[in-house]
């Protein structure tokens, strides 16, 4: 984790920002919850446990800076709230997809790139350089599907 924090600190410096203690707390919360897609409010609540006087505006500003510097990515899963996830290791593509359960709101990551062939065709056909993509599937997870099938 310390290696990642140092890399983020370098990105911040390159963008004329500093890694303040509050920003570091926010980054640590994101890194410790890599498997989750936290909203700004959830990040705020987790940071507030460690730094009681942190403000929600500070969390929003920091998330915006991290997003601008490609440290994190924001995703809208259709619930009207931005969710954030860590951007990954340097040089690592951000190619994974999400399954969103419309029953319980669970988010499942699909960690394989399902669109390589399509990207190649689009690049070739339209002379367009693709830098990233996002794919979301909406439906019911195993638990919600079982519950639906049990209802009369």
Task: Evaluate whether 39 touches 80 at the Cβ level (below 8 Å).
Answer: no
Rounded Cα distance between 80 and 84, Å, is 13
9 is in an annotated binding site: no
The answer to whether 133 is annotated as binding is: yes
- Binding site annotation covers 6? no
Is 101 annotated for ligand binding? yes
Q: In what order do the strands lie in the sheet with 136-139?
A: 107-110, 97-101, 136-139
Checking 35-39 for CB contacts under 8 A at 24+ apart, the result is 37/75, 37/77, 37/83, 37/84, 37/85, 37/98, 37/107, 38/83, 38/84, 39/81, 39/82, 39/83, 39/84
DSSP secondary structure of 74-86: EEE-SSSSEEEEE
Q: Are 25 and 50 in contact (CB under 8 A)?
A: yes
Instruction: Give the rounded distance of the alpha carbon of 88 from its chain centre.
Output: 9
- Write out the binding residues: 95, 101, 104, 116, 133, 141, 144
- Write out the binding residues for Zn(2+): 101, 104, 141, 144
- Write out the binding residues for Fe cation: 95, 116, 133
């Amino acid at each position: 984790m310390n290696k990642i924090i140092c890399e983020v600190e370098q990105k911040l410096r390159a963008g004329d920002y500093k890694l303040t203690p509050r920003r570091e707390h926010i980054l640590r919360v994101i890194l410790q919850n890599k498997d989750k897609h936290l909203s700004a409010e959830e990040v705020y609540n987790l940071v507030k446990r460690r730094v009681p006087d942190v403000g929600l505006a500070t969390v929003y500003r920091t998330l915006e800076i991290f997003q601008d510097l490609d440290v994190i990515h924001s995703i809208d899963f259709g619930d009207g709230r931005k969710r954030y996830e860590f951007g990954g290791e340097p040089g690592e593509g951000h190619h994974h997809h999400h399954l969103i359960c419309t029953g319980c709101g669970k988010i499942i990551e699909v960690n394989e790139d399902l669109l390589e062939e399509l990207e190649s065709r689009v690049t070739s056909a339209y002379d367009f350089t693709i830098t990233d993509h996002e794919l979301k599937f909406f439906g019911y997870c195993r638990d919600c599907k079982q519950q639906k099938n049990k209802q009369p």
